[in-house]
Structure 1
Amino acid sequence: MALNFHQLHIFYTVAEKGSFSHAAQALHMTQPAVTMQVQSLEDYFGTKLFHRSTKKIELSEAGRTLLPYAKRSIDLMKETDVSMSKFTHMLEGRLHLGASMTVGEYILPRLLGPFGKEYPNISVSMKVINTKQLLDEVLNHQLNFGLVEAEVHHPDVHTEAVMNDELMLIVPRDHPLAQKTEITMEEVLEYQFVLREQGSGTRRVMEEEMAKSGFDPGAMKIVMELGSTGAVKSAVEAGLGISILSQSSLKHEAALGVLAVKRIADIRFSRSFYAIYLKSTLLPISAVTFMTFLRERDLSQWL
């Protein structure tokens, strides 16, 4: 029997999760299948890798020795996929991903066309939900890969910045702030706001940046919370309030002049868009190829 990467990946996941059942869930395998693969690895090395009891499992001395090598093999496999993704133009397969609202409605539609021309044999399926829902689906193995608007902090999730963005103030074109060349946050807080709902990445970034800059998000006069960026823009255009949204979602309205898009002088809402996936997951090559595309292309030509 030869040593194989699949067994090392299973061994590493069991060690990280501290449980055969939890590892099986993370790997989409049955617990007996996980146990069998670990036993095969133990047979190969001729030694026990775990001490098992009714309550818990612990790495043996041999297991502790193997663990860093298993991690290095996983890291090397990921690096190999990234490097080789640059050459896989004839790659075939399906790219299934989730995207948070702003990314899915305004960013990815402009990028999937150029991606499709470069990789014509990859078909794309995308689910658009808010950041909190997307994280839940990744954690529950309903999605294995997603793009979100705010950094995610979770011990089981890998988060990687792949694109840059900035949030901007939007006001109706006949609003008092529309004619001003310099606007302060103090002036902005005098007006009523229409915002995205709690759980939205845009909302979270806005509130975090306000707090970092010494402004209390609780001081905002919020008259309406809406579940999509498009609804917020329509409400602002109708004069129901002002808002702060991704500049990437405002291209159409700014060109038509139906909304005034402004930068606030004493605060900058710079942010990144992030790819998220479970640390225990090895992404399919189609997903790795798409992330490489996002990182290495000049996206501004399409956005």
Structure 2
Amino acid sequence: MALNYHQLHIFYTVAQRGSFSAAAQALHMTQPAVTMQIQSLEDYFGTKLLVRSTKRIDLTEAGKALYPYAQKSIELMRETEKAMSQFTSMLEGRLLLGSSLTIGEYVLPRLLGPFGRQYPHISIVLKVMNTTQIIDEIVSHQLNFGLVEAPVHHPDMISEPVMEDELKLVVPAGHPLSSKGKLRLEEVLSYPFVLREKGSGTRQVMEEQLERSGIDLGELDIVMELGSTGAVKSAVEAGFGLTFLSPSSVKHELALGLLNVLEIENVTFKRQFYSIHLKSTLLPVSAVTFLTFLREQKLPL
């Protein structure tokens, strides 16, 4: 019998999950099949790798020695698939992905067309939802991966940067600030604001940058907190206040002359968009190809 990657992947997942049943669920295998593969691996090395206890699985000394090599083999396989994805123009597959609101409604729609023309045999099913829902559906294997606006700290997830975005000051057409040159942060913050709800990625980036700039968030005149970017845009357009949004999300309103995007001197609100997927599951090559494609794009403005 030859050593194979599949068995190392199973061993790594059992060790990480702490039980055969949890590993079987993560790998979409039956528990007996997982047990059989571990036994085959132990037969190959001629030593025990795992010890069953009443509550969990523990690694033997041999298992502890093998674990980092199994982990490296998974990382190497991911890197290999990423490197080779650029040569696979005839890929086929169906990708199930979730994305947060800004990415799903304003960024991806402009990129799915070019991707589809380059890879016509890959179909994408996109679900727009919040980060918690995306994580839940990835864990339950209803989604291959997700795209979110902030890194995710979850024990079963890998979080990797995909694209960079920058929030800008958005004001209604004809606002007094529109006629000025360089804006100072202090004069901007003297106006009322319409913001996304607390906990949203957009709100988080804005607040973190303001705090780094020495601004007391409690002094902001926040007249509205709304649960969607569309609602925020409508409120700003109606003159209720200013806001910070991604230029990708106001492209239509800019073209119609309803809103203006302005620069603030010496202040930037940059953020990363991230992909997330399960540590225990290798992404299909079609998913790696899609993420590679996204990394090569500049956000449409």
Deviates more, 1:95-104 or 1:190-199: 190-199
> How many equivalent residue pairs?
301
Secondary structure of residue in 1 paired with 2:245:
strand
Offset of residue 138 of structure 1: 2.9
Q: Deviations over 1:30-74 (max 9, x none)?
A: 434333322222233222101211023221121122112211211
| C-alpha distance in structure 2 between counterparts of 1:26 and 1:250, whole Å | 40
Offset of residue 137 of structure 1: 3.0
Deviates more, 1:241-250 or 1:175-184: 175-184
- Say whether 1:28 aligns with 2:61: no
- Say whether 1:299 aligns with 2:277: no
Give ranges in structure 2 of 5+ residues lacking alignment. Answer: none
| C-alpha distance in structure 1 between counterparts of 2:136 and 2:216, whole Å | 28
Q: Which amino acid aligns with 2:94?
A: R
Give ranges in structure 1 of 5+ residues lacking alignment. Answer: none
Matched residue, 1:238: 238
Asked whether the equivalents of residues 94 and 124 of structure 2 are also in contact (C-alpha less than 8 Å), the reply is yes
Q: Deviations over 1:126-158 (max 9, x none)?
A: 011123432343344432311112222333221
Deviates more, 1:256-265 or 1:28-37: 28-37
Q: Deviations over 1:61-93 (max 9, x none)?
A: 211221122112111211111111111111111
Q: Deviations over 1:232-272 (max 9, x none)?
A: 11111011221110122122222222112112224210112
Secondary structure of residue in 2 paired with 1:267:
coil
| C-alpha distance in structure 1 between counterparts of 2:219 and 2:22, whole Å | 44
Deviates more, 1:280-289 or 1:23-32: 23-32
Q: Which amino acid aligns with 1:14?
A: V
Do the aligned partners of residues 199 and 103 (structure 1) sit closer, same or farther apart at CA in structure 2, a change above 3 Å counting?
same
Q: Which amino acid aligns with 2:234?
A: S
Offset of residue 283 of structure 1: 0.5
Asked whether the equivalents of residues 50 and 58 of structure 2 are also in contact (C-alpha less than 8 Å), the reply is yes
Matched residue, 1:129: 129
Matched residue, 2:70: 70
Matched residue, 1:109: 109
Matched residue, 1:81: 81
- Say whether 1:15 aligns with 2:11: no
Matched residue, 2:276: 276
Asked whether the equivalents of residues 130 and 201 of structure 1 are also in contact (C-alpha less than 8 Å), the reply is no
- What is the aligned-residue RMSD (CA, Å)? 1.9
Structure 2-normalised TM-score? 0.92
Structure 1-normalised TM-score? 0.92
Asked whether the equivalents of residues 131 and 201 of structure 1 are also in contact (C-alpha less than 8 Å), the reply is no
Percent sequence identity is 68
Offset of residue 122 of structure 1: 0.6
- Say whether 1:95 aligns with 2:95: yes
| C-alpha distance in structure 1 between counterparts of 2:195 and 2:23, whole Å | 40
- Say whether 1:3 aligns with 2:14: no
Secondary structure of residue in 2 paired with 1:143:
coil
Offset of residue 188 of structure 1: 2.6
Deviates more, 1:94-103 or 1:29-38: 29-38
Deviates more, 1:88-97 or 1:185-194: 185-194
| C-alpha distance in structure 1 between counterparts of 2:51 and 2:31, whole Å | 17
Do the aligned partners of residues 34 and 213 (structure 1) sit closer, same or farther apart at CA in structure 2, a change above 3 Å counting?
farther
Matched residue, 1:191: 191
Do the aligned partners of residues 202 and 55 (structure 1) sit closer, same or farther apart at CA in structure 2, a change above 3 Å counting?
same
Offset of residue 230 of structure 1: 1.6
Q: Which runs of 4+ in 1 moved over 3 A?
A: 28-33, 139-142
Asked whether the equivalents of residues 171 and 261 of structure 1 are also in contact (C-alpha less than 8 Å), the reply is yes
Secondary structure of residue in 1 paired with 2:13:
helix
Do the aligned partners of residues 80 and 291 (structure 1) sit closer, same or farther apart at CA in structure 2, a change above 3 Å counting?
same
Q: Deviations over 1:97-132 (max 9, x none)?
A: 111111111111111111011101111110111234
Asked whether the equivalents of residues 157 and 279 of structure 2 are also in contact (C-alpha less than 8 Å), the reply is yes
Q: Which amino acid aligns with 2:69?
A: Y
Q: Deviations over 1:148-191 (max 9, x none)?
A: 12222333221111111110111111323222222222223222
| C-alpha distance in structure 1 between counterparts of 2:132 and 2:209, whole Å | 19
Deviates more, 1:123-132 or 1:25-34: 25-34
Deviates more, 1:96-105 or 1:168-177: 168-177
Matched residue, 2:222: 222
Asked whether the equivalents of residues 171 and 242 of structure 1 are also in contact (C-alpha less than 8 Å), the reply is yes
Matched residue, 2:143: 143
Deviates more, 1:24-33 or 1:188-197: 24-33
| C-alpha distance in structure 2 between counterparts of 1:84 and 1:62, whole Å | 33
